[in-house]
Amino acid sequence: MPRLELKERLRGIIYQYVAEASTLAGVKNKLSPQIYLLTDFWESVKDAHPVIFTFIRDGVPIYDRGTFMPWKALLKMGKLKPSPEAIDMFMSMGDKTIKRAKMGLLDIVVNDIYWGVITPTQALFMLDGLPPPAPKHIVAEMNKAFVEKEKMLEKKYVNILEKIVGIYKDWEHEKIQEIKGAEIDKLIDDTEDYLKRLKELREEIEKRSNEKTIEQIYKDIFTILKEMFGNKSQKDIIEEFESSLVKKGKLPPHSTRVLRDIVAAREEFKKGKSSSHKIDEARKNAAILINDLIEYNQRYDLIKNNKEKK
Say if 195 falls within a structural domain: no
| Number of domains the chain contains | 3
Say if 185 falls within a structural domain: no
- The 8-class DSSP code of residue 128 comes to T
Tell which of 45, 63, 84 closes a domain: 84
Say if 304 falls within a structural domain: yes
Does this model's pTM top 0.75? My answer is no
Say if 193 falls within a structural domain: no
* Whether residue 157 has pLDDT greater than 90: yes
Say if 196 falls within a structural domain: no
Each residue of 107-130: pLDDT tens digit? 877 788 889 899 999 999 988 888
Tell which of 25, 52, 84 closes a domain: 84
Say if 191 falls within a structural domain: no
Confidence of residue 85 (pLDDT cuts 50, 70, 90): low
Mean pLDDT score, 71-92: 72
Q: Do 105 and 157 lie in a common domain?
A: yes
Say if 189 falls within a structural domain: no
Higher pLDDT, 5 or 94: 5
Each residue of 267-284: pLDDT tens digit? 888 887 767 777 888 888
Q: Do 116 and 67 lie in a common domain?
A: no
Angular region, 2: left φ>0, alpha ψ -120 to 50, beta rest: beta
CA 168 – CA 114 distance, rounded (Å): 7
Q: Do 58 and 127 lie in a common domain?
A: no
pLDDT given at position 141: 94
Q: Provide CB contacts within 8 A for 47, sequence distance 6+.
A: 82, 83, 85, 86, 89
* Whether residue 39 has pLDDT greater than 70: yes
282-288 LR contacts (CB < 8 Å, sep 24+)? 282/214, 282/217, 283/213, 283/214, 283/217, 285/258, 285/261, 286/217, 286/220, 286/221, 286/258, 286/262, 288/258
Q: Can you give the residue range of the structural domain that contains 109?
A: 93-179
Q: Do 71 and 99 lie in a common domain?
A: no
* Whether residue 87 has pLDDT greater than 70: no
Across 160-164, 203-207, 252-256, 298-302, least confident range: 298-302
pLDDT given at position 162: 94
Say if 124 falls within a structural domain: yes
CA 105 – CA 177 distance, rounded (Å): 10
Tell which of 41, 67, 84 closes a domain: 84
Q: Do 31 and 73 lie in a common domain?
A: yes
